[in-house]
């Protein structure tokens, strides 16, 4: 019952080929993945992804969608031999998803670790761009954003492991109002209003205009505020993986901390039955759009009981509920991760309420708006000016020397929570306190003997066995350095590791 839980971030990166607007994005995304995997000499570049436990059409409301009724983009359990799919030594997955290169971080247990391995993904993509920047072939540009400004949107998804016993209806009831308001402190900012950005202006979040319904299974059409995919990648009788598709790709460490941390706390309250105030928002999809379109933060939404609240006021309500819950459960003695999230939550809401521009060092959309306003002032630019849209895209360029955010960050314009050395290590090393440690370490130590892997399995191909050997990992909090580190150190081969695991099974499975 703290901010700590198994969590992770998946980010699809925007992609373009300079001078070739008609270049096939799927092919180019495959080049990105292959270039990086080949450079680091990964056996995983030749191995497959283990799809055995994938179930993308299973709905948390108690049914499975018929395959014939599903959009092809939902069939993520079917291997496409034309697409690159790599497991990295840091436990992450790097692959092509919906014509975009995607980096799915390894499982972590704290918001700070989520930031660390998310930023490691930025480094991976930056290196791939560098590797493809050759004079003899067209290079690519990658963007950590969520829309091309012309009507296409691609996701940054969060994953949170929850107690299966929690009623899904309670998750929906209490999470929708929070998600409607969360963009106020977690949006990445965007030039243009509407799906195709046809109306001039600036809004808080990149993804909000693309959501159409409250609850649903889809992720690329009729996007829902609450995604119902019931694919835990863990012991299904114990866990639920809440798949959140509403968030933006964040650059600011504080924003990312708040996105992961406050959501984890709200989920903790839901699991504990601790939300005793009805904060239901009237017409939540419409409310989501309205709040996103108002960078003054004065827009209000109707809440249960006929009340009206601004997004900031709604977030204050959740903050106060969390503060009361934590004080009752922990009597004021919070762990450092939870204390940090609560402190940052209060500080950022205070700044946003007083004057949003005060949060320019912490909040993505505020930082972007401040920069854009300086361009507008210098050039006398209206929000309809195409140059502002170009700046918006350039903001998220992953290259250190081209991305506007990256250049401002190097100049010390934003509050940084994770140092560069920690990010550099996370590019190749897995977190030590989840099953990602076992997955990543096996890839690093026995690259020629790992045939395939997934979130909940590693499959070995060893000479002493007539068939492939699958090691299941249905408990995400096991397979850690504490659990299997000594065995991995002792094993000189995957064959020996399998024997050691068999002998030590009660302690490691």
Report the predicted TM-score, pTM, of the whole model to 2 decimal places. Answer: 0.92
Above 90 in pLDDT, residue 62?
A: no
**Phi, psi at residue 84, to the nearest 5°?**
-80, 145
CA separation for the pair 106, 108 (Å, rounded): 6
Strands 450-454 and 48-49: what pairing?
parallel
Q: How far is CA 94 from CA 48, 125, 299, 478, in A?
A: 12, 10, 39, 23
Are the CB atoms for 105 and 8 separated by under 8 Å?
yes
- Catalytic residue numbers? 97
Q: How confident is the model at residue 337, as a pLDDT?
A: 97
Decide if pLDDT at 40 tops 50: yes
The tally of CA atoms less than 13 A away on the side-chain side of residue 265 is 30
pLDDT in tens, 240-260: 999 999 999 999 999 999 999
pLDDT at 77: 47
Q: What is the pLDDT of residues 188-219, one digit of tens each?
A: 999 999 999 999 999 999 999 999 999 998 77
- Joined together, the tokens standing for residue 270 give 């839901």
The pLDDT of residue 507 is above 50: no
The answer to whether 156 and 247 are in contact (CB under 8 A) is yes
Q: Please determine, for residue 426, whether its predicted confidence score (pLDDT) is greater than 50.
A: yes
Nearest of 80, 162, 56, 52 to residue 454 by alpha carbon: 52
Note the pLDDT tens digit of each residue in 274-325: 999 999 999 999 999 999 999 999 999 999 999 999 999 999 999 999 999 9
> Edge-to-edge, what's the strand order for the sheet holding 457-460?
48-49, 450-454, 457-460, 469-472
Q: 223-227 and 211-216 as β-strands: parallel, antiparallel, unpaired?
A: parallel
- Closest to 247 (Cα-Cα) out of 11, 6, 3, 76: 11
pLDDT digits (tens, 9 = 90+) for 435-482: 999 999 999 999 989 998 999 999 999 988 888 999 999 999 999 999
User: What pLDDT sits at residue 58?
Assistant: 64
When the pLDDT of each residue in the chain is averaged and rounded to a whole number, the result is 91
Environment class of 83 (CB within 10 Å of its CB; exposed 0-12, middle 13-18, buried 19+): middle
Residues 132, 27 contacting (CB under 8 angstroms):
no
């Amino acid at each position: 019952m703290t901010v700590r839980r198994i969590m992770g971030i998946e980010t699809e990166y925007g992609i373009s080929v300079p001078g070739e607007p008609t270049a096939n994005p799927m092919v180019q995304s495959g080049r990105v993945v292959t270039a990086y995997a080949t450079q680091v000499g990964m056996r995983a570049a030749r191995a497959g992804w283990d799809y055995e436990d994938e179930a993308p059409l299973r709905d948390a409301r108690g049914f499975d969608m018929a395959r014939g009724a599903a959009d092809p983009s939902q069939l993520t359990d079917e291997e496409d031999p034309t697409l690159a799919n790599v497991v990295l030594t840091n436990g992450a997955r790097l692959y092509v998803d919906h014509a975009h290169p995607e980096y799915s971080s390894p499982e972590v247990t704290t918001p700070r670790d989520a930031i660390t391995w998310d930023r490691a993904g930025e480094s991976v993509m930056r290196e791939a761009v560098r590797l493809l920047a050759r004079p003899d072939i067209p290079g690519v540009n990658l963007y950590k954003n969520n829309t091309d400004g012309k009507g296409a949107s691609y996701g940054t998804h969060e994953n949170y492991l929850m107690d299966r016993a929690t009623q899904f209806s309670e998750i929906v009831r209490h999470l929708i109002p929070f998600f409607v308001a969360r963009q106020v402190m977690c949006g990445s900012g965007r030039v243009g209003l509407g799906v195709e950005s046809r109306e001039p202006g600036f809004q808080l979040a990149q993804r909000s205009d693309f959501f159409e319904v409250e609850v649903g299974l889809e992720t690329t059409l009729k996007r829902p505020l609450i995604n119902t995919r019931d694919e835990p990648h863990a012991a299904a009788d114990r866990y639920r993986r809440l798949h959140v598709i509403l968030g933006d790709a964040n650059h600011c460490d504080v924003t990312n901390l708040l996105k992961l941390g406050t959501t984890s706390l709200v989920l903790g309250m839901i699991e504990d039955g601790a939300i005793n105030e009805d904060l239901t928002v009237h017409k939540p999809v419409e409310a989501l759009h309205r709040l996103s379109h108002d960078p003054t933060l004065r827009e209000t939404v109707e809440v249960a009981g006929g009340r009206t609240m601004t997004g900031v006021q709604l977030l204050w309500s959740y903050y106060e509920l969390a503060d009361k819950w934590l004080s009752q459960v922990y009597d004021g003695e919070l762990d450092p991760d939870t204390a940090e999230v609560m402190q940052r939550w209060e500080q950022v809401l205070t700044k946003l309420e007083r004057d949003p521009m005060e949060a320019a060092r912490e909040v993505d959309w505020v930082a972007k708006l401040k920069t854009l306003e300086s361009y507008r002032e210098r050039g006398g630019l209206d929000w309809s000016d195409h140059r502002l849209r170009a700046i918006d895209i350039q903001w998220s360029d992953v290259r250190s020397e081209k991305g506007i955010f990256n250049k401002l960050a190097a100049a010390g314009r934003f509050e940084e929570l994770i140092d560069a050395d920690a990010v550099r290590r996370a590019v190749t090393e897995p977190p030590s306190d989840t099953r990602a440690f076992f997955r990543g370490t096996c890839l690093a130590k026995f690259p020629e003997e790992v045939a395939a892997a997934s979130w909940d399995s590693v499959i070995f191909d060893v000479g002493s066995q007539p068939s492939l050997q699958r090691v299941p990992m249905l408990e995400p909090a096991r397979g850690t350095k504490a659990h299997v580190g000594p065995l991995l150190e002792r094993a000189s081969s995957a064959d020996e590791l399998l024997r050691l695991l068999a002998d030590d099974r009660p302690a490691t499975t």
